[in-house]
Chain A
Amino acid sequence: MRAVDALMECLKAEGVEVVFGLPGGANLPTYDAFYDAGIRHILVRHEAGGGHAAEGYAKATGKVGVALGTSGPGATNLVTPICDAMMDSVPVVFLTGQVRTELLGTDGFQEADTIGITMPIVKHSMMIQHPLELPRAIHEAFHIARTGRPGPVVVDIPTDLSRADIPYEPITDVHLPGYQPTTDGNQKQIRLAAKALANARRPVIYAGGGAVGASAELRELATSDRLPVTCTVMGLGSFPASHPQWLGMLGMHGTRTANYAMDEADLIVAIGARFDDRVTAKLSEFAPHAKFIHIDIDPAEISKNVPAHIPIVGYASNILPRLTTEYRALKPDPARLEEWWHRIESWRARYPLAYSDSDDSEIKPQYMVQALFEATEGNAIVASDVGQHQMWAAQHYHFDRPRQWINSGGLGTMGFGLPAAMGAKVGRPEEMVVCITGDGSFQMNTQELATCAQNGIDVKVFVMNNGYLGMVRQWQELFWDRRYSQVHTGQYPDFVKLAEAYGATGVRLTDKHTLVEGMRQALATDGPVVVDVRVSAEENVYPMIAPGQAARDMVG
């Protein structure tokens, strides 16, 4: 069969239900194979939309996402999603077309060195050199993307090779001698960690994106005792926000309670978190009294930014149950945590997440998120874009389930939200999927509204419209003497008309008194809906750790 037909067989063998892509010259053979392969293909309007959709699909389902683009510009348009998937450890296989082999290196039409361009931002990549390599390469790509620390894998396929006639034998084994992730966690280290935890008087569990796949296990550990839990923006949902042991998100725009707890903790259990600068703030003053247990699948994360006293390398889902067992066996005295909880409760009471609401009909952005929480009864999968709305959503939409919150944390990619919501809805059609975006972010991939409308992908987009690139404006206000340089976007375009032009429904909401009801109606409307919510123009995200400051010096 043709190599591309073998490719389809491989995708099916990997359990691929859906792919996102856009055809072009160099992947014509692949698209000919899709014609009757029986794999659902969703035609996006820009490769970046397809890439982020595959990410959204992967984040919502835990399965490997697949995105396709042609050679040259098709592949370069995928660069942002590839980098995004790398930063947030999202399993996605990217299949790019390439010019035929005799044109390689000659600056042929639509030729780009895809492997070279993407090399620093992939978990792995492969250029197919011979058609017989293709099936194995595809299975290796899925294996690498899915296992260990997940991430993007690029497979670049020259168009002539994809047309070659090859004998196809299903491949059932993948053997990669240079890729053997440590998954189990060292028992001795686990025992050591249990002992440290049992002796801690001021412990905090700090969970990141790596805890999303071990949410039940995390809960089991935390509730073995009253261990307080905070999550990074990537980890939200891995521990229920409604749980009494929840401290809120930590970091630059986290709660005071979470940040103060980290500041005074004597033991921090980091689970699948990487001590990002948005979490640690001033590194030299980060958690000055704490010892660190660091559980991570990636040994390169251990002691990268903060030296770990007890490193444990492996899957959190393997390690946490054993840590829980060891911890319980030590029968630690729960009374030792009483003083600590007393301290935490006093912060909680003193510093709730607050903002001053308007006394007229003006919609404060924080209230918009609260209204959405109410209108969706806290049940929606929320895909967010990047900026102020993302932080407010993280603060005020209380996530109780893993994979309920989908955002671009590491790379901070504006334009991620809509396509990610689209991918999430495709992967979890039974769920209500909303996208919270800003007027700036939304326009960076609005074209995917056409994809949603054409395919009946039922996402509801809530645009927090303040007419500014809000986060940049906030920084200019606070740290650059209010010199607002190139942040004003005004009320362009008219999002209601734009939605209608794309075949979606457009709604505008401007009054806080009817906001929840308006949102409910939008949610009840069939098909994709864009809700243009006009909010206060110059509201700031607080609390905040100012740049260069320590967590204990939070403002606002």
Chain B
Amino acid sequence: MGEPGTKELLSLEELEAAGSFRTGRKHILSILVENKPGALTRITGLFARRGFNIDTLAVGPTDDETISRITLTLDGAVQSIDQVTKQLHKLVNVLKIRDLEPTETMARELALFKISADGGSRAEVMQVCEIFRAKIVDVSKRTLVAEVTGTQEKIDAFERLVRPFGLVEMARTGEIAIARGRAET
């Protein structure tokens, strides 16, 4: 591709091809940050600058009230993930970052599904919920709300199964994660 500043005409395909590669490997980053104003913006801003799409993002307190944990999942090229983690380390409010290995990590997400369930289909929907150990937390005449926890994949599977019944709406928290075994995340 030609250097900016030269006359060479660029095709749209070339521009797209020059965009960042995706490895397809999902990354779960667990980031401990000082509970300071703007900390989250600094982090998400950095991802935006480097051209990463954050798939999910969850923020919450830790056992230490001055520190929050940000868990985010994204899809990225290995090389650039490395660059992003290094850049994140430079943020003064960031205390610790871990790029969690999927096999050594417990990751869970919570989701709420509002599903059409009038007379005929209700029993079948409830059966699916049971298989997935989903809790039914609200029932109305035509719908019910199911609460599911599990890995992203489990929740995706649940969604696929209940969609045919009529999925009215859905809300997901994004994954949070913690390292298996004794090691600190």
A contact set with B: CB distance below 8 Å: 115-116, 119-120, 123-125, 127, 129, 144, 176-179, 298-300, 302-304, 475, 479-481, 547-548
User: Which residues of chain B are within 8 angstroms of A123 by Cβ–Cβ distance?
Assistant: 90, 92
> Which of A120, A124, A176, A300 is B86 in contact with, Cβ under 8 Å?
A300
Asked whether A548 lies within 8 Å of B38 as measured between CB atoms, the reply is no
Q: Give bound CA distance, A249 to B22, whole Å.
A: 37
> Which of A127, A176, A177, A178 is B38 in contact with, Cβ under 8 Å?
A127
User: Which residues of chain B are within 8 angstroms of A177 by Cβ–Cβ distance?
Assistant: 34, 95
Q: How far is the CB of B12 from chain A (nearest CB, A)?
A: 19
User: Which residues of chain A are within 8 angstroms of B33 by Cβ–Cβ distance?
Assistant: 178
Q: How far is the CB of B86 from chain A (nearest CB, A)?
A: 4
User: Which residues of chain B are within 8 angstroms of A303 by Cβ–Cβ distance?
Assistant: 82
Asked whether B6 lies within 8 Å of A178 as measured between CB atoms, the reply is no
B41 at the interface (CB under 8 A from A): yes
Asked whether B83 lies within 8 Å of A547 as measured between CB atoms, the reply is no
Interface string of B1-42 (1 = CB under 8 A from A): 011111100000000000000000000000001100110011
> Which of A125, A127, A144, A178 is B34 in contact with, Cβ under 8 Å?
A178
B154 at the interface (CB under 8 A from A): no
Beta-carbon nearest neighbor of B85 in chain A: A300
Asked whether A176 lies within 8 Å of B92 as measured between CB atoms, the reply is yes
User: Known interface pairs A127-B37, A475-B5. Does A144 touch B92 (Cβ–Cβ under 8 Å)?
Assistant: yes
> Which of A119, A176, A302 is B41 in contact with, Cβ under 8 Å?
A119
Q: Using A178-B93, A479-B7 as known contacts, list a sample of 6 further A-B pairs with CB atoms less than 8 Å apart, ordered by residue number in A.
A: A119-B38, A123-B92, A298-B90, A480-B7, A547-B3, A548-B6
Interface string of B33-70 (1 = CB under 8 A from A): 11001100110011001000000000000000000000
Beta-carbon nearest neighbor of A547 in chain B: B3
Asked whether A115 lies within 8 Å of B38 as measured between CB atoms, the reply is yes
Q: Give bound CA distance, A543 to B92, whole Å.
A: 42
Asked whether B90 lies within 8 Å of A300 as measured between CB atoms, the reply is yes
Q: How far is the CB of B67 from chain A (nearest CB, A)?
A: 9
Q: Give bound CA distance, A227 to B95, whole Å.
A: 40
Asked whether A481 lies within 8 Å of B7 as measured between CB atoms, the reply is yes
Beta-carbon nearest neighbor of A144 in chain B: B92
Q: Give bound CA distance, A302 to B93, whole Å.
A: 22
Asked whether A548 lies within 8 Å of B3 as measured between CB atoms, the reply is yes
User: Which residues of chain A are within 8 angstroms of B145 by Cβ–Cβ distance?
Assistant: none
Q: Give bound CA distance, A115 to B87, whole Å.
A: 19
Q: Give bound CA distance, A144 to B90, whole Å.
A: 11
B176 at the interface (CB under 8 A from A): no
User: Known interface pairs A119-B38, A177-B34. Does A548 touch B92 (Cβ–Cβ under 8 Å)?
Assistant: no
B180 at the interface (CB under 8 A from A): no
Q: Give bound CA distance, A178 to B42, whole Å.
A: 14
A-B pairs with the 5 shortest C-beta distances? A547-B3, A300-B86, A548-B3, A124-B92, A179-B92
Q: How far is the CB of B114 from chain A (nearest CB, A)?
A: 34
User: Which residues of chain B are within 8 angstroms of A300 by Cβ–Cβ distance?
Assistant: 83, 86-87, 89-90
User: Which residues of chain A are within 8 angstroms of B89 by Cβ–Cβ distance?
Assistant: 299-300
Beta-carbon nearest neighbor of B42 in chain A: A119
Beta-carbon nearest neighbor of A125 in chain B: B38
> Which of A120, A179, A479 is B49 in contact with, Cβ under 8 Å?
A120
Q: How far is the CB of B107 from chain A (nearest CB, A)?
A: 25
User: Which residues of chain A are within 8 angstroms of B168 by Cβ–Cβ distance?
Assistant: none
Q: Give bound CA distance, A125 to B3, whole Å.
A: 34
23 cross-chain CB contacts under 8 A? A119-B38, A119-B41, A120-B45, A120-B46, A120-B49, A123-B90, A124-B92, A127-B37, A127-B38, A177-B95, A178-B93, A178-B95, A179-B92, A300-B87, A300-B89, A303-B82, A475-B5, A479-B5, A479-B6, A547-B2, A547-B4, A547-B6, A548-B3
A123, A177, A475 — most chain B CB neighbours (10 Å): A177
The B71-126 residues at the A interface (CB cut-off 8 A) are: 82-83, 86-87, 89-95
Q: How far is the CB of A375 from chain B (nearest CB, A)?
A: 35
User: Which residues of chain B are within 8 angstroms of A144 by Cβ–Cβ distance?
Assistant: 92
User: Which residues of chain B are within 8 angstroms of A479 by Cβ–Cβ distance?
Assistant: 5-7
Q: Give bound CA distance, A31 to B4, whole Å.
A: 45
Q: Give bound CA distance, A124 to B95, whole Å.
A: 14
User: Which residues of chain B are within 8 angstroms of A178 by Cβ–Cβ distance?
Assistant: 33-34, 91-95
Q: How far is the CB of B11 from chain A (nearest CB, A)?
A: 16
Asked whether A116 lies within 8 Å of B41 as measured between CB atoms, the reply is yes
Asked whether B37 lies within 8 Å of A129 as measured between CB atoms, the reply is yes
User: Which residues of chain A are within 8 angstroms of B38 by Cβ–Cβ distance?
Assistant: 115, 119, 125, 127
Beta-carbon nearest neighbor of B8 in chain A: A548
Q: How far is the CB of A165 from chain B (nearest CB, A)?
A: 24
Beta-carbon nearest neighbor of A304 in chain B: B83
Beta-carbon nearest neighbor of B1 in chain A: A548
User: Which residues of chain A are within 8 angstroms of B46 by Cβ–Cβ distance?
Assistant: 120
User: Which residues of chain A are within 8 angstroms of B49 by Cβ–Cβ distance?
Assistant: 120
Beta-carbon nearest neighbor of A181 in chain B: B90
Q: Give bound CA distance, A179 to B7, whole Å.
A: 45
